[in-house]
Structure 1
Amino acid sequence: MISSAAKSNDYQVVVVGFGPTGAVATSLLGKRGIRTLAIDRLRTVYDKPRAIAMDHEILRLLDNLGIAERILPHVAPFPASQHFGAAGQLIRRIDMVPEPYPLGYTPTMVFTQPPVEAVLRENAASHESVKVELGAEFVGLAQSDTGVRLELLGDDGGRQSVTADYVIACDGASSEVREQVGIALEDLVFDEPWLVVDVLVNEETLGKLPQTAAQYCDPARPTTFIIGPRNHRRWEIMLLPGEDPQEMQKPERVWQLLAKWLTPDEATLWRAASYRFHALVAAEWRRSRVFLAGDAAHQQPPFIGQGMCQGLRDSANLVWKLDQVLHGHCGEALLDSYGEERGDHVRELTTRIKAIGQVICERDPKAARERDLRILAEGGGQARTITRQEIVPPLRKGLLASTDDSAKGTLFPQPRILSDHGPILLDTAFGSGWRLCIDGRAAFELTDVAQRQIDELGLTTFRIGVAPEADRGRIAVELDGVMAGWFDRHGCRAAIVRPDHYVFGVARDTATLIRLLRELRDRLVDSRPEPLSITTQR
């Protein structure tokens, strides 16, 4: 571990890169009053779409930042994706979990990136403790026992040097920060050339296009079709051996590829960009005072739309831990759990995405036919439906209770609850810090010992019931049974929830809860490792 940072540094945190991951990290830091500098070499938001999907975990995070209402005009539900086999037959569907939605929002959504990213940037810059410098490029850093010194180059040629307690590198797949601190990427072995095409379709033409998302698992040329908000449609098209990626993204070639769906008179070409879809994960997520996040830490194929979601999860996981350490509530050891948790989670999810991609990208006709028969057999001869939510795993390592239960590491639900002004979501009522939620249907009493531990840890405590109770001031009333079903499914009556909405652990009785609270205290409050000097790096 490293020693506590000196109070004389210019900033507590410098965020390098101001895309979605960096902007959300900056907003989370600013919301906590942490002195933050965010830099980006570009002055404006890129005006074309790249990311196109987000999920309910991410919209919950954005709602916690107070910007969901500004985001929603640029968001639409992500319809079911139908997968068609080599002969054009339906072989499976990937959909979202049904209502009532577990986190209070549509589980999977599509969005238009430029206006959403603009909102993220504006919100980040609105905090008093945040300074944003656009047109500033990172050129170097040196670490010491007391902080990090960064060298920046302005687009006007001016140079400046700033110091910080910590650095979060959100500077993309070719991260210069990652390169300079010497962190390698682990190759999970997926490397395929694809062309991504975004078009704005004329209103009168929308009806002739597929009305759901589609995955054409055609060995002749695997292709993905995505329905974006309003008239935005995206095709992701596999490039074949011998095709020049630069040549294939020229408009005349793009329209040739889209000819079975559209003509140039029926839509406006918004973007065509060739990519190599990779599966890469950082071997380390932290080097002393420098942390990687977003594409700097991982890259995955886009087959279930988790690329941007992964980066925003990084920000949500890291920032509350930095806040605890910077305010002296926890020791430096807490920061090691960032890479432990996110590295394991990203590897598992990327491996699952890669497996889906390998199925989609099968080019051998015989193997593709066998694949189709196998997938149909898994559904008993029918095209079965799986949900995107079951593809995303829980946390399995890190700051989680040592108990053996099915709830820890999962996302805590967010039911609609009754208020004097109508239905509101759970986070609106009780915030997003450390929380203790108790099943209001159960006779679960808190002893003096438990209450002292709760107070020491600063947990927000509340009870949730399923019907109006006589004592409305004591029990919150949920409207859809989401929370009651969750408690019953996991066989518990109380849950300790982290600031990023992941469950630390659950209890069936007060004695188990006391043990959980003691374990949490030991791991958070009492964990204060002796500082260990580090070698200055450049």
Structure 2
Amino acid sequence: MSGGHTSAVYDVAIVGFGPSGAVAANLLGQYGLTVFVCDRQREVYDKPRAIALDHEIMRVFQQIGVADAVSAWAAPFTPSEYYGVDGDLIKRFTMVDPPYPLAHPPSLVFTQPPVEAILREAARGRKTVEVALGCELIDLHQNIDRQEEPVALDLTGDDGTVHRVRARYVIACDGASSTARRLVGIELEDLIFDEPWLVVDVLVNERGLAKLPSVSIQYCEPQRPCTYVIGPKNHRRWEISLLPGEDPREMATEAATWGLLSRWLTPEDGQLWRQASYRFHALVAQDWRRGRVFVAGDAAHQQPPFLGQGMCQGVRDVANLAWKLRAVLAGQADDRLLDSYGTERGHHVRRLTGRLKEIGALICERDVAKARERDARLIAASGGAIRSEPRQNIQPALESGLISPDAHPANGTLFPQPWIVGGPEPVRMDELCGSGWRIVFDALALPSPKLPAAVMERLAPRFVGIVADRDAGPPQDALQEADGVVAGWFRRHGCVAAILRPDHYVYGVAATADDLLRQVNGFPARIDG
């Protein structure tokens, strides 16, 4: 990185090139926006931190063209079984059965370092993305009263150079101790969860693998709650609660770690890959935007690790924000649209964190009598036979922001992505229809919609007719889905059309052609904020 100032004004500057920052750079670069992204670290951290992905994140990876590369480092998440005080099964999370609603396995485990490298390399390949590594933010200047002025970022390189970059908008993806968040004065709200845990990753050999459970397990034991996760290939993770009086640094030593693992393994059964003590927190930004600066990923929130939602939430953040920045920078929407980012993501993060805290409270009950009451209650509620609960049921919908004012349970949920047949090979819907505004409709129940010119000019939606009946034969230009995923979705929600946002969330649904026309007629005003 050369010293001095640059006269160029980027559309967006991203501080932090971890997973959230790299996905943001890919999405914005794919849109053709000019992007500057920096990170103080030159290399990807070589140890795993995040371990879980879900189908929404894989759909984003598909959008930026890296899903196949990521899949080589991922595997379906095994069921997660929860065992109580006396070893009884009390809860079970798993995946929905195929056909999968988003055309990817709903829950996955993955190896973070190579996946993060894939995301970085893809961003570097975008013509409008400039990457500066070994480069740290030291100051930030913006004139809140003159929003048309770009934000100025003062950066220092690890070679001692000083540099100023200017951008119309800034996304802070620089982690839990975010410098950018501090510089713009955004505070974090404590959602009251504070637990010391030891996280241990082991590369297990054949002898060790034979000793270990075949599913992921949550040991809800008052004496020491702990989690066992089956990662890809021979990667296994333990998250082990630390007890009062235990020194986190001492417990993270090799000797102490193997002592904690002795219930399952000996040092002859594998190699320690990482052991680190953490305090698991529940924090969320009080504001997600300050002027032209936005926070995302760990800079905006930190959650307990239960169900592995940390990295997923950061990707959701930037997927929500990127298309809105594009719309504003292209003159298709007023800057006020960007306020919906914090509204939507802040509410979602709070709701999901609340649900994760409930799971954490279930897992971390230290009173033996109360833990036995918990076990009895859960077993009784299941009728004595524990039923599998899909992990994705924990995800809340968007409940405010840019969604239709006509209340409907489908609004703010993710629309499915079917496999489309009829060509040489089945393909996922987004590969044919892109990720802009789309109106997906049942082509046998509704003629191709005709929308007002103002709507067509503002949104330029793509019309996607779907049919599921293989015997009926698709009408002209309609797509035939393989498994009836969309047809089932329409049937469950009592509609024949859905208006999809560029991030695949449902803006609104319609039961008739007139209903659809009424929905879109009010839309230009809503996208202006």
**What is the TM-score normalised by the length of structure 1?**
0.94
Q: Which residue of 1 aligns with 2:306?
A: 303
- Which amino acid letter does the alignment assign opposite residue 130 of structure 2? K
CA distance in 2, matches of 1:12, 1:422: 38
Q: Which residue of 2 aligns with 1:516?
A: 519
Q: Which residue of 2 aligns with 1:36?
A: 35
CA distance in 2, matches of 1:327, 1:294: 25
Q: Which residue of 1 aligns with 2:496?
A: 493
CA distance in 1, matches of 2:235, 2:411: 39
After TM superposition, list the pairs within 5 Å mapping 1:335-354 onto structure 2.
Answer: 335-354=338-357
Q: Is the 8 A contact 1:445 1:510 kept in 2?
A: no
2:85 equivalent to 1:86: yes
Distance change in 2, residues 1:140/1:240 (3 Å): same
Q: Which runs of 5+ in 1 are unaligned?
A: 1-6, 529-538
Q: Which residue of 1 aligns with 2:467?
A: 465
After TM superposition, list the pairs within 5 Å mapping 1:424-503 onto structure 2.
Answer: 424-444=427-447, 446-447=449-450, 449-450=451-452, 453-454=455-456, 456-468=458-470, 469-471=472-474, 473-503=476-506
Q: Is the 8 A contact 2:446 2:513 kept in 1?
A: no
Q: Which residue of 2 aligns with 1:259?
A: 262
Matched residue SS, 1:166: strand
After TM superposition, list the pairs within 5 Å mapping 1:71-150 onto structure 2.
Answer: 71-144=70-143, 145=146, 146-150=149-153
Q: Which residue of 1 aligns with 2:315?
A: 312
Q: Which residue of 1 aligns with 2:220?
A: 217
Matched residue SS, 1:10: strand
After TM superposition, list the pairs within 5 Å mapping 1:218-237 onto structure 2.
Answer: 218-237=221-240
CA distance in 1, matches of 2:447, 2:474: 15
CA distance in 2, matches of 1:410, 1:10: 36
Q: Which residue of 1 aligns with 2:46?
A: 47
CA distance in 2, matches of 1:11, 1:332: 17
> 1:482-512: CA deviations, max 9, x gaps?
0000000000001100000000000001111
2:331 equivalent to 1:328: yes
- Which amino acid letter does the alignment assign opposite residue 508 of structure 1? A
2:291 equivalent to 1:292: no
> Alpha-carbon deviation of 1:523?
1.4
Q: What is the number of residues matched between the two proteins? A: 519
Q: Is the 8 A contact 1:454 1:517 kept in 2?
A: no
Matched residue SS, 1:412: coil
CA distance in 1, matches of 2:76, 2:89: 22
CA distance in 1, matches of 2:132, 2:476: 47
Matched residue SS, 1:280: strand
Matched residue SS, 2:403: coil
- Which amino acid letter does the alignment assign opposite residue 462 of structure 1? V
Q: Is the 8 A contact 1:450 1:513 kept in 2?
A: no
Matched residue SS, 1:197: strand
Q: Which residue of 2 aligns with 1:56?
A: 55
CA distance in 2, matches of 1:409, 1:273: 37
CA distance in 1, matches of 2:405, 2:469: 33
Q: Is the 8 A contact 2:52 2:107 kept in 1?
A: yes
> Alpha-carbon deviation of 1:517?
0.8
CA distance in 2, matches of 1:491, 1:271: 50
Q: 1:403 aligns with which of 406, 410, 416?
A: 406
- Which amino acid letter does the alignment assign opposite residue 108 of structure 1? S
Q: Which runs of 5+ in 2 are unaligned?
A: 1-5
Q: Which residue of 2 aligns with 1:360?
A: 363
Q: Which residue of 2 aligns with 1:16?
A: 15
> 1:153-212: CA deviations, max 9, x gaps?
100111111111111000000111111111111111000000000000002321220000
> Alpha-carbon deviation of 1:421?
1.3
Q: Is the 8 A contact 1:9 1:165 kept in 2?
A: no
Matched residue SS, 1:268: strand
CA distance in 2, matches of 1:9, 1:342: 31
Q: Is the 8 A contact 2:455 2:523 kept in 1?
A: no
- Which amino acid letter does the alignment assign opposite residue 443 of structure 2? G
Matched residue SS, 2:72: helix
Q: Is the 8 A contact 1:395 1:410 kept in 2?
A: yes
CA distance in 2, matches of 1:474, 1:455: 22
CA distance in 2, matches of 1:446, 1:348: 36
Matched residue SS, 2:33: coil
What is the aligned-residue RMSD (CA, Å)?
A: 1.4
Q: Which residue of 1 aligns with 2:3?
A: none
CA distance in 2, matches of 1:35, 1:84: 51
**What is the TM-score normalised by the length of structure 2?**
0.96
Matched residue SS, 2:411: coil
CA distance in 1, matches of 2:349, 2:79: 24
Distance change in 2, residues 1:203/1:135 (3 Å): same
RCO higher in structure (CA 8 A, sep ≥6): 1
CA distance in 2, matches of 1:355, 1:478: 38
